[in-house]
Structure 1
Amino acid sequence: MADDITDADELPSTASDVAQEYPDAWDAYTELGKACSEAGPIDGETKRLVKLALAVGTQSEGAVHSHVRRGLEEGVDPETLRHVAILAAPTLGFPKAVAALTWIDDLAD
């Protein structure tokens, strides 16, 4: 099961605009996400946490929000999502971990 959003109506406005303006590119992008998701044995919740960690690592507030929102919809415990930010502290630094925690808390509170 792919865990990327494929329906442009469910996307934040900017991504939705890109999906509608460039549907072939959007379709290829979602197919890549599906293929990557199905390429290995990692379970759904773990994939969501890895994707959240990658978003935290790139300091992308929008991507953190996206993965937190989808994680909550998938039943991931908010404390589990917060743990990802705390785990980032030794590698990324405390300020970046705290920033990620605030982004997670934007939706997980």
Structure 2
Amino acid sequence: MAEKPENLPSGAAEVARSYPEVWEAYAKLGQACAEAGPLDGRTLRLVKLALAVGASSEGAVHSHARRAVAEGVSREELRQVALLAIPTLGFPQGVKALTWIEDITDPHG
């Protein structure tokens, strides 16, 4: 089921409110992709976080980190995703991802 607009970041919430059919289709696509293979929920969340890191999407990193924490993924596991980005994406991208993850896992600094 698609997230309710009030639970979404502002940009996504505006799309969900203004174009509910588009949002619902997008959510169904995400669900179908998640169910298309054998990965479990924890692995899916970590992969989606890694994809967000690779896309350099701060909002998506925040979203997937937030969801991962809610699903019981540890701070250390999330940090490892950022560290794994360093050899492939470069040191600056890995450090940037680490700070985005820490925005969620350690919001008070």
- The question of a shared fold, defined as TM-score above 0.5 by the shorter chain, is answered with yes
Given the alignment of the two structures, is residue 26 of structure 1 paired with residue 23 of structure 2, yes or no?
yes
Aligned to 1:92: 89
Unpaired runs of at least 5, structure 2: none
Please report how far the alpha carbon of residue 9 of structure 1 lies from its aligned counterpart in structure 2 after TM superposition.
Answer: 2.0
**Aligned mate of 1:50, from 28, 47, 51:** 47
1:8 corresponds to which residue?
5
Shift of 1:14: 1.7
In structure 2, how many angstroms separate the alpha carbons of the residues matched to 1:6 and 1:66? 12
Measure the CA separation in 1 of the matches of 2:60 and 2:101: 10
Tell me the matched-pair count.
Answer: 106
Corresponding residue number in structure 1 for 2:33: 36
Letter in 2 for 1:40: G
Q: Which runs of 5 or more residues in structure 1 are unaligned?
A: none
Q: Are positions 1:103 and 2:67 aligned together?
A: no
RMSD: 1.1
How much has 1:82 moved relative to structure 2?
0.4
Runs of 4+ in structure 1 deviating by more than 6 angstroms, as ranges, are none
Describe the SS at the equivalent of 1:75.
Answer: coil
Return the offset for 1:8.
1.7
Identify the match of residue 71 of structure 2 among 59, 70, 74.
74
